Homo-oligomer: A and B are copies of this chain.
Amino acid sequence: MSGYVSDAVIRRLPAYYRHLRELENDGVTQISSQELGERMGLTPSQIRQDINTFGGFGRQGYGYQVHDLKEHIHKIMGLDRDHRMVIIGAGRIGQAIANYAGFAVQGFHTVALFDIDPVKIGQSTEALPIYPAEELLLRLADLQPDICVLALPKEAAQQTLDLLYQAGIRGIWNFAPVDLHFPRDMVVVNVHLSDSLQILSYQMNHQKE
């Protein structure tokens, strides 16, 4: 994959992967841009354009090899290697993430949680340790995560990110409802649940007009 890839294409990558995996499970070995487009709610020309961006798969009139394309996207997304995650904040969101088995299947392994609440510390959630937040820096060297999940109040998010950057962490999955500042060599992906709910509200509001 070379050159500039638009945010829109990157956002669609996981959906391609999801659909191709389902197709493969259903025993489909080959698919046209027309069929894939109908399935994904995209036009055949969007499909062809996207897949060209990924690396020029498929030949005119022959469609795509489901398995090959799926494996290619898998690799593009870096899913061919394992990721170690540390979750900072062992509240309900943090614990829900820690306990979602689907992530481990995809190679994202949660290795520990951290919290400031003495009641939570020490308690293990599904055999995962919950360490005191003050031991974060100390333990990162051992835990060796490449992704840190921020599942803490927004007031603590920026200072925690800064600390993690100092410690060499370059991947942040942020659930705190705040836009964080971060250096260019760090990657932050947000899950802003309130934003998502507000977009739902917006669309319901404008549906009626």
Contacts and interface: CB of A to CB of B under 8 A. Distances in A.
Contacts of A14: 192, 194-196, 198-199
Interface stretch (A61-69, A74-82, A115-123): A74-82
Q: Interface of chain A, helix or strand or loop or mixed? A: helix
B177 A197 contact: no
Interface string A1-21: 100010000110111011100
Contacts of A165: none
A76 B197 contact: no
A198 B17 contact: yes
Contact of A92 (B13, B100, B195): B100
* Stoichiometry (number of copies): 2
B179 A18 contact: yes
A180 B58 CA distance: 27
B204 A171 contact: yes
A106 B197 contact: yes
A15 B108 contact: no
A95 to B, nearest CB: 6
A187 B203 contact: yes
Nearest to A80: B205
Contact of A204 (B13, B76, B91, B170): B170
A76 to B, nearest CB: 7
Interface in A88-109: 91-93, 95-97, 99-100, 102-103, 106, 108
A179 B15 contact: yes
Contact of A202 (B77, B106, B193, B207): B77
Question: When A and B form their complex, which 8 residue pairs have the shortest distance between CB atoms, in order from nearest?
Answer: A78-B205, A14-B195, A92-B96, A189-B200, A14-B198, A187-B203, A78-B201, A77-B202
